[in-house]
Chain A
């Protein structure tokens, strides 16, 4: 039995954390993710969870504590955003290389500078090469559902990789939304008991060393399994999503196609923008324009083959990037998709729009203008900035 409630993205994530009941949470507050851990800390204080909550002095320490705790075999979670995630960067790839299934609530926020607290994807995109699975959410419901699934995915023996589930700062994190919450015992059943780790730092009967110096002769052999696990995780994400759909009725994939099957023009986007885009697409469809969208849910691992296949019959596609990678040839999502399409025999003409930096509004007229441009895509420059003053 599920119940319908009003929750912000942060409240929804904290609720999922309470139901997951992790062994250890180490975190440091940062806008707009503060609330997640603040609400969770109250659950700890009120005795609603069995979690050992570690209040640390920085995000660098938070992720370090998470790595240590996870190496003992504990189920570990944390939450952060923007500069906090940046401070974790040094430790993030260590968590991946040690194959520790830490699950993070990550609220997308622009990175400094200039200093800004609002949504874009620059913090999370900069963490894309650290061996963490990255799942984006369109709304609070997806954040709640994906966080529960993330525990199963990360702890699957075929994966054993840390995972971040993201929401968009303020747009999702602070807006009340109608969501369905499942019962505590159903979440418990879905997760299926304690984490089953093969080794524990605290097991004195089977002493192990973790995270040793690894030079020319072994480092390479320890990095390759991360790439392999990342590849394998696609199958696991889909399996877990299927089981979740059977139990709770909501379906997820690596991506979501919205009116994409017969679309002639389409956008690719991730996060909260997809909700606005769906309204615009419905309007265009009512006028007889074959518009559609490919919403990326999983950015790491990147579903390259799946996306190439899904976009094969579209005439023109605009990839929306809510961050810039300063490469002078478009954003992170665009670069991935362009690369994914390179070998494809049938592929759309591709455009890139970089938009919404530092929380700059993306509204229906702006998205409509993208679809209008797609109708004469051949006349458009490859990369454009959407919604910036000249």
Chain B
């Protein structure tokens, strides 16, 4: 009898505790967006807090809020002065002179000195174990000189390069913090570092001594939400307020929710069916062109992203206003008959078979490959799809170049045309499609050695034209990017690079 009462008491105790906990939770269950706190969901972990060591685009877009270079990109794709107040180009792009912004401070309150600038630039130009600097283009730096009294920093190059300022977005950090750059980083950006828990979150706070327009929201948390499965519930439940790059079906679901706004921009990448030009049957230009004619790009857009996205015709996307050539988009308007006759001319009237290798983690690329494969059947091409893991894609396709064709999006790491075009030079180490064309190489070299801006742009455009004419790849689109933000916040702006500028966001 006694034991029964003990048991009963234990059960009722448990129930009481559970209920109390549940009631406490009701009272404390707050929804996001009530205080001056904003939580941004990010799809992957930070690979390094040291802005110079970080490689992943997903990390750089976050660190953009914490660090600045001498110059920084704006949302229009221009380079604007940041740590430097002004820049002077001398000797046709061989010497660059910067004046340090007066009164600029680091997050810890210490003033930025010319020595800190020299330290950061030297850190990025020091060669690693493989012989290339952290910023590969810095191999071109001959010397960095500073003058404390006049706050001048002079960079002299080995070879003139008018694109060089684009690489100077490399972060300026204090030399005094050199041992703690990967644990407690300090920069000059609109937000300063507060804390970081691997795999979980990065917390930042507004930097009140920022030299420019100060950020609106005081406390920002970047919360890691891997996998997109829980994304919608996390947004609806209120644990995150914003997420960039949601899939089109998620965008559709969330746009029906009155609590959210879905903004549409572009992902800034060149999505294409990349063809291994060094392999049969793609060694044959006619086969490549036949595939270009066989593909219906609008149908791909309709299927993959509800008709959103921008059709492109070469390795350049629309945000690069200066270099983008919209006229190339309809160079290969869908023409099944022409595709068939080109295949026959090339001696493949019995049909062609090849494999499209796609990284399975990118839903959009897998979907695109599916549509292409179906479209190619109509002209007698049998394209089999092989989904691989991202790691396998990197080693087999990208590095070993052991593939027939692949669907992927190629992005630009900085605001120069060469960021997108350099890889198609025959000898380029990242020319994973083995494209080789003498005219292309010549135009590319001409552009790189040209100091006159108009002539240089023209040569780059010629390169784009060649890629299109020779059907180096089957260019498809610049994918749409959907950004979901809780209603009540505004000011988000799309950048032509991988950037999430949180400082512009404000509460209405």
A pairs with B: no
Chain A positions within 8 Å of B, measured between CB atoms, are none
Chain B positions within 8 Å of A, measured between CB atoms, are none
